[in-house]
Amino acid sequence: MNTVVPLEIERLSRLSTDILTKHGFSDQHATAIAKIITTCQIDDCHSHGLFRLLMCCETMKAGKIDGQALPVLHATEGAVTRIDARQGMSLLAFEAGLPRLIDNTRKHGIAALAINRCFHFSALWPEVEQLSSIGLAAMAMVPSHSWVAPAGGKRGTLGTNPLAFSWPRSGRNPFTFDFATSGFARGEIELYLRAGKPLPEGVAVDKDGYPTTDPQAALDGAMLTFGGYKGSALSIMIELLAGPLIDDLTSMESMKFAEGMGGAPYHGELILAFDPDHFSGGQTARNDARAERLFADIVDQGARLPSQRRFDARARNIARGYVEVPAALFEDLKTLQNGG
Ligand code: NDP
Ligand code: PYC
């Protein structure tokens, strides 16, 4: 039976920073990572919440990450900001590059932040929502490791390559989606494995290329993209834009860099931001109202907007003051907290 234990929200951040600093992350990195992990766990994003502390520690044990690295911003006058994470985790680099991305977006109407040479384990929605919370629309994308077969193939070439988008809505939660371009995120398959549950059909093939619902066989074989050739093309686009375009690694190259060691993939990240005031010819309010009519027509027919489950979970968890964590994961986290 998959039992869960309650964990007070006020303990989440401390538990995460304790584990991260004990495993070699500087206070600055630990704080940046814990912030995202806590944010995800409060929203019941289980595949990229506390569970990802295991991947962070595994990454440190693999030996290539620099847990102390301070990101360096490249000097530039243009709309493209480049920041070198210097083989640290991506999140501190995102924090360091964000103010310049915002300034550039306000100045030029559209701007980009390219993070290079980062280890990356996290969900992207907390990043794009930092931009939509100040009235900007935003997209973010990353490659990962080459676990995913292209449509028509049976060998891992592409990453799980998430794409996130957030649209600001005055006085309401933003319109946000954030999904892996594989049918399932790798983290989700790992959670199925831990829970002893079979996968749905269509998520993966085994190492011989046959369809499988066995999570371990899926991890050993190849994952599939969502939406057949359409998800496959989107995934390839992410490889290109967050890889060669920004002078960084593809998922195949990230896999090679890892040399079979576990942990988070190593590559770049691309974040794009748009200022509606520049694009809508001074008619932002009128166009926001048109966007709201679009959302209303979706919700009115009984469909839900992406992220609504998350916003509901946030409200519920904050109101009761605790999140629910699988008991087995909580035991693993206690072991890590004790230095294991
Ligand atoms: P999900 O399939 O759980 O959800 C994808 C999106 O679709 C969410 O915004 C979700 O909203 C929305 N959604 C789900 N069901 C519906 C529905 N019925 N109607 C409308 N919208 C719906 O996401 P994934 O498992 O693909 O990805 C999970 C996380 O993993 C992401 O945050 C992603 O960034 C992260 N990830 C990170 C990687 C990395 O390399 N760093 C690699 C791959 C994934 P809601 O949350 O409200 O359900
Ligand atoms: O869940 O696919 C995933 C993933 C890859 C890297 C971090 N998360």
Tell me the pLDDT tens digit for each residue of 209-241. Answer: 999 999 999 999 999 999 999 999 999 999 999
Of 178, 249, 266, the one to substitute when testing ligand 1's pocket (max ligand atoms within 8 A of C-beta) is 178
pLDDT at 71: 98
Alpha carbon 169 to chain centroid, angstroms: 22
Nearest residue by C-alpha to atom 2 in ligand 2 = 186
- CA–CA separation, 263 vs 296, rounded Å? 42
Q: What letter does residue 47 receive in the DSSP assignment?
A: G
User: Confidence class of residue 77 from pLDDT cuts 50, 70 and 90?
Assistant: confident
Q: Which CATH architecture has domain 4-183+225-282+320-337?
A: 2-Layer Sandwich (3.30)
Is the minimum distance from the CB of 309 to ligand 1 under 6 angstroms? yes
pLDDT digits (tens, 9 = 90+) for 241-273: 999 999 999 999 999 999 999 999 999 999 999
Report whether pLDDT(338) > 80.
Answer: yes
Nearest residue by C-alpha to atom 47 in ligand 1 = 307
Report whether pLDDT(1) > 60.
Answer: no
Instruction: Determine how β-strand 175-179 pairs with β-strand 204-205.
Output: unpaired
For the chain, give every domain's residue range. 4-183+225-282+320-337
Report whether pLDDT(2) > 80.
Answer: no
Dist. CA 185 → ligand 1 center (Å): 8
Q: What is the arithmetic mean of pLDDT over 18-23?
A: 98
Please provide the average confidence, as pLDDT, over all residues in the chain.
97
Is the minimum distance from the CB of 179 to ligand 1 under 6 angstroms? yes
Provide the β-strand partners of residue 257. Answer: none
Looking at the annotation, which residues are catalytic? 47-48, 188
Q: Which residue has the higher pLDDT, 1 or 165?
A: 165
The percentage of residues in the chain with a pLDDT greater than 70, rounded to a whole number, is: 99
Q: What is the arithmetic mean of pLDDT over 23-52?
A: 98
Q: What is the arithmetic mean of pLDDT over 97-104?
A: 98
DSSP result, 108-121: HSEEEEEEEEEE--
Ligand 1 atom nearest 313 alpha carbon: 47
Dist. CA 263 → ligand 2 center (Å): 10
Dist. CA 227 → ligand 1 center (Å): 14
Of 144, 147, 267, the one to substitute when testing ligand 2's pocket (max ligand atoms within 8 A of C-beta) is 144
| Phi, psi dihedral angles at 279 (to 5 degrees) | -85, -30
